[in-house]
Amino acid sequence: MWTYPWDIADIGQEAVSSELRDLGFDMISLATVYHAGRFLQVRSPKRRVYFPEDSTLYFRPDASIWQGQAVQPLLSSLAQDQDVLREMIEARDTGGLDVSCWTVCLHNSALGFANPDLVTRNAFGDANSYNLCPANPQAQAYVANLVRDISKNYQPNRIELESPNFLGFAHEYHHEKDMVGLPPEGDFLMALCFCEHCQAAGQAAGLDMPALQARVRGLIDQMCTGDTPQRVCPDFPERGLDAFDFDAELRAYLDLRFGHVNAVLKQAKDTCAATSELMLIDGQAGWLGGCDHDAAADLGLKVMLCAYDMGPEAAEELMSYATGLRHGAGGQIGLRLGYPEFSDREDFAQRIALLRKGGATGVNLYNFGLVPKARLDWARGLL
C-alpha cells in the first residue's frame, strides 16, 4: 500500500499497520523521497489538506555518504522531527509489515531550480527545472547515493524507483498553460533533451547535433504557429519511436535515451545492498521516457507497471506485456483506488481477478491517506 509519511505521523504507525494487516496487506510502500503537491487528506485526524515540501527526503541521510557530493539532498522538516521510516523498519523487525521505500528520483523541482546545470533542456535551450537529466553524471550519482543510503542504513525489503527517466512536457509542473493544444508528438518533442550531456552523446554517435536541434525546433514551431496545431507525426504514439523514422538522425538520437536511463538504473543497482530488492515503477509505454524494461530486468531490477485509467481490455494487454518481460521481472501492478476509476467494490474485485488471472504476482494500491476508509475496505478478502 503506497502511503505518505505524514499520514503515519498524523494517524500513528501502529494504527496504520494494524488496519493494513487486517485488510490483507503484507507490505507498506512508504514515500521516502517525494515531490510537491496538494493532497486532500481524508484519513488524517489533524488536517484535510497537506502541502509537502518540494522534493525532500523523508528519512535521515547518512552524512558520510553525501560528504563531498555535488548534489546534496534536501531534508524535510517532518524527517527532522520524526523518522517515520525507522519506525516502520523497527515494527517490521518485530513481526510487522514488510517495508518498501517509494523513492522519486529525477522528478525534483527544488534541486532543478537550485542546480540549473543538472536539468533537461529543450531544443530551444529552455530548462525543464522539474527534471534532472538522466544523462548528467551528477544526477546519476544522486540517485545512486539515495539507494546506497536507504539500503545500507535502513535495509528495507524493497526500494521502488519512480522517475529515473526523462519526463514529459505536460503535467510535470504546477499551473501549466498551453493554449496551442499541442498534439502528442508536440508534448514529446518539447521535452526532448538537448543539454550538454545529451548533445555530447549525440556527437559521439556521429550525429550533427546543431542541425538536428534546429530541425526539432522547426517541427515544434510548425505545430505552434498555425491557427490550429498541425500534426507532424500523425501516427505517434501508436507507432512508438518509429513514427520519427522520417529523420534518421532524430530516430538515432531518441534511441540514445535508453542508454542514459539504463546508466541511472545500473548505478542504482550497483550500490543497492543485497538485503533490498530494487524495483522500477513505470507505465507500459516506458519508451516515452527512455525506459527499456527488459534492459532493467537484465540488470536485476523488478518492474512494477501502473494500470491507471485502464479498462479491462487495456489491463489484459498490460498483463500480457508484463508477463513477457525477461527474467520474470514483471508481475507487480500498481492500481489507484480512485473514484470513478472504480465505481464500486464489484468493479474493483473484477479488476483484481483479471490481473491475477493474467499472472500478476502482487498489487500496489494508491494511496492510504487519500482514500476514504470505507473504500479501502473494498480490498478486504481480495489480496
Give the mean pLDDT of 184-208.
98
> Is residue 249 a part of any domain in this protein?
no
Residue 202 forms part of a structural domain: no
> In angstroms, rounded to a whole number, what is the distance separating the alpha carbons of residues 304 and 147?
17
Is residue 219 situated within a structural domain? no
The position carrying cell 524527517 is 79
- DSSP 3-state of 96: coil
- Quickly state the pLDDT bin for 176 (edges 50, 70, 90): confident
Average pLDDT, the chain: 97
Nearest Cα to Cα of residue 158 among 15, 361, 308: 361
Instruction: Tell whether 106 is covered by a domain.
Output: yes
> What dihedral angle (degrees, nearest 10) is formed by the CA atoms of 375, 37, 29, 357?
50
| pLDDT at residue number 177 | 86
Q: Is residue 148 part of a domain?
A: yes
**CA–CA separation, 319 and 355 (whole Å):** 7
Give this prediction's pTM: 0.97
- The mean-pLDDT minimum among 76-80, 90-94, 225-229 falls in 225-229
At residue 174, the pLDDT reads: 75
Q: How far apart are CA 128 and CA 368, in angstroms?
A: 31
- Answer yes or no: is 86 within a domain: yes
Task: Give 198's DSSP letter.
Answer: H
H or E element, residue 17: helix 13-23
Q: Which domain does 157 fall in, by range? A: 2-177+257-379
**Count of structural domains within the chain:** 1
103: domain CATH number? 3.20.20.80
Q: Across residues 183-194, what is the average pLDDT?
A: 97
Lowest mean pLDDT among 49-63, 74-88, 175-189, 304-318: 175-189
Q: How far is CA 259 from CA 63, 127, 208, 346, in A?
A: 30, 22, 19, 43
In a domain, 284, yes or no: yes
Would 193 be classed as within a structural domain? Answer: no
> Maximum Cα–Cα distance for the chain, whole Å?
64
